[in-house]
Structure 1
Amino acid sequence: MPFKPPERAICPKCGKAVYAAEEKIGAGHKWHKMCFKCDLCNKMLESTTLAEHEGKLFCKGCHGRKFGPKGYGFGGGAGALSMDTGERFGNKECEMANKPKGFTGGDAGTGPKCGRCNKSVYDAERAIGSNVPWHKTCHNCAICHKSLDSTTVNNHDGEIFCKSCYGKNYGPKGYGFGGGAGTLSTA
């Protein structure tokens, strides 16, 4: 009986024989070490960091961006909201498939509107201490843009001001009503 060499595994990525010294095992196949990388970002993979989809290998991050659930609340881990689509790695197929028909951007929310920008204010972005809904980023003085809280905010005609700017523009005027710290104002 003639000697028959053992059959070599074929790398699914490059189609060449894989020898024992250069093999990586994952997704039910043997791969070359240099072929065992993410198809999008080219990150080298380990058996614990790979995700397989239709015979292709991906790191878990790229696999999640390309094939995972899309939309608000589906983040990149640790409870984070990830807006990274992977486009810099050539991923063009990750556009949110469940986007409402006819949606062109802007504010489609039906919740309470911010007193400054008039866009929907969701609980996670709402400024605390105000009865009127404001985004945290919009809850600042209309004049000097100093950040405000419930103890420093002053309302006037639907706009908010810090105590100092409110006093200068809408407070009492004349002798004895200064801008603070003993100043004398005759305006």
Structure 2
Amino acid sequence: MSEKFKCHYCKDSLRGKKYVEKDGNKCCLVCFDKHCAHTCEQCHKLISADSKEVHYKNRYWHNTCFICSECNQPLTGETFSTLNDKILCNNCATHVSSTKCKGCLKDIVAGDKHVEYNGTVWHKDCFICSNCKQVIGTQSFFPVENEFYCVACHETKFAKYCTKCHKPITSRGISYQDQPWHSECFVCVSCSKELAGQHFTAVDDQYYCVDCYKNFVAKKCAGCKNPITGFGKGSSVINHEEHFWHDFCFNCKTCSANLANKRFVYHEEQSTGCIKTKLKSPLPAAALWNS
């Protein structure tokens, strides 16, 4: 039993001493001030165990420091208001704040339900949709220049419609070639992976992720036999006589010199060759010259 009747922090016995119980733990007054005491919002000193404390929304005061920010009237046990994190008596909240409703231009007094948006304050009943005039209150809305619209009116008046599902886009929208899409609708035609923020390829108005394009659509290089994806190394494609190559695979069959953007000769039996190599022997009649 004696083991349990000790300070949780310093382990000194609490018999015959004043102590405080905090979160199920007993501690001496010194350790309470050191480890548990809150700091007063007004004087910025610790609120010791032998002081009376007032708290409001995770803010703490000595009871003697809990006063109106304007007139210094003690507010412990009294009703009060808050404005911009200031604690105010009801009289000061009404007369000192001078907050006017952006809609009706009348004062917003203590106790009035109000809405704050982008530095402006409105009576709750004055914050209405510019189109249907219904009270928006605390519901979702869309600001457009100096007007506000409820979700339904914004969809009717302003929202873009998805190219795929033809439903209004209210969030997570993207644009491709001046066409609007929901992010979840702009997907690979093969595997349905979302393409927003990803590399993709368009083929005949169909969109493919890199993997699906490589596996199912891409031309195969006549040199290395791998897909030509158009991404990364070998993004340039060379085609000739219905054959395709990565630019780094388009090499002379005899000396392996790269022929991209160079003159070459082509023969169906011998494939591509550089001019220097081909001129070592007579050219066959079927040879083609390219420049």
- Structure number with the higher strand fraction is 2
TM superposition score normalised by structure 1? 0.38
- Please identify the structure whose Cα radius of gyration is greater: 2
Whose relative contact order is higher, 1 or 2, with alpha carbons under 8 Å and at least 6 apart?
A: 1
